[in-house]
A and B are shown apart, each in its own frame.
Chain A
Amino acid sequence: MSDLHRRDLVIELLKDRPKDLLVVSGLGSSCWDLANAGDVAENFYVWGAMGGAAMIGYGLARAQPQRRVLVLTGDGDMLMGMGAFATIANNPVQNLAIVVLDNGRFGETGGQPTHTSGPADLAGIAKAAGIPTTATIAKQAEVEPLKELALKTPGPVVAVVKVVYEDLKFVLPANSGSYLKDRFRTAILGEDAA
Chain B
Amino acid sequence: MTETALDWHAEVFATLQAEGITQVCHVPDAGHSRLIKMCEEDNAMSTVTCTTEQEGIYALAGAYLGGAKGVMLLQSSGVGNIINALAMPNTCRIPLLMVATMRGEWGEFNSWQVPMGQGTPGSLEAMGVRLIRVDNPEEVPMAVKAAARLAFDGEQMVAVLISQKVIGFKDFRELAK
Residues of A within 8 A of B (CB): 22, 24, 44, 46, 48-53, 55-64, 81, 83-84, 86-87, 90-91, 177-178, 180-181, 184-185, 188-189, 193
Q: How far is the CB of B31 from chain A (nearest CB, A)?
A: 21
Q: How far is the CB of B135 from chain A (nearest CB, A)?
A: 32
B58 touches A59 (CB 8 A): yes
Query: What's the Cα separation between A22 and B57 when bound, in Å?
Result: 20
A62 touches B46 (CB 8 A): yes
B175 sits at the interface (CB 8 A): no
A63 touches B58 (CB 8 A): no
Q: Which chain B residues numbered 73 to 88 have a C-beta less than 8 Å away from chain A?
A: 84-85, 87-88
Q: How far is the CB of B23 from chain A (nearest CB, A)?
A: 6
Residue of B nearest to A64 (CB): B66
Chain A interface: which of B8-16, B90-98, B166-174? B90-98
Residue of A nearest to B60 (CB): A59
A62 touches B51 (CB 8 A): no
Q: Which chain B residues numbered 25 to 74 have a C-beta less than 8 Å away from chain A?
A: 46, 48-52, 54-68, 70
Q: Which residues of A contact B63 (CB under 8 A)?
A: 59-60, 62-63
Query: What's the Cα separation between A181 and B54 when bound, in Å?
Result: 19
Please give 11 more A-B residue pairs, beta carbons under 8 A apart, in addition to A52-B61, A81-B58.
A59-B61, A59-B62, A59-B63, A59-B64, A59-B70, A62-B23, A62-B63, A63-B66, A83-B55, A86-B51, A188-B67
Q: How far is the CB of A1 from chain B (nearest CB, A)?
A: 33
Q: Which residues of B contact A177 (CB under 8 A)?
A: 88, 91-93
Range for the number of chain B residues in contact with chain A: 20 to 34
Query: What's the Cα separation between A44 and B58 when bound, in Å?
Result: 13
Mostly, the B contact residues are helix
Q: Which residues of B contact A83 (CB under 8 A)?
A: 50-52, 55
Residues of B within 8 A of A (CB): 23, 46, 48-52, 54-68, 70, 84-85, 87-88, 91-94
B67 touches A185 (CB 8 A): yes
Q: Pick the contact of B54: A22, A52, A57, A178 (CB < 8 A).
A: A52
Given known A-B contacts A48-B87, A63-B23, A181-B65, A56 and B58 have beta carbons under 8 A apart: yes
Query: What's the Cα separation between A59 and B89 when bound, in Å?
Result: 14
Query: What's the Cα separation between A77 and B84 when bound, in Å?
Result: 14
A193 touches B55 (CB 8 A): no
B55 touches A84 (CB 8 A): yes
Q: How far is the CB of A24 from chain B (nearest CB, A)?
A: 7
Given known A-B contacts A62-B46, A178-B92, A52 and B58 have beta carbons under 8 A apart: yes
A49 touches B66 (CB 8 A): no
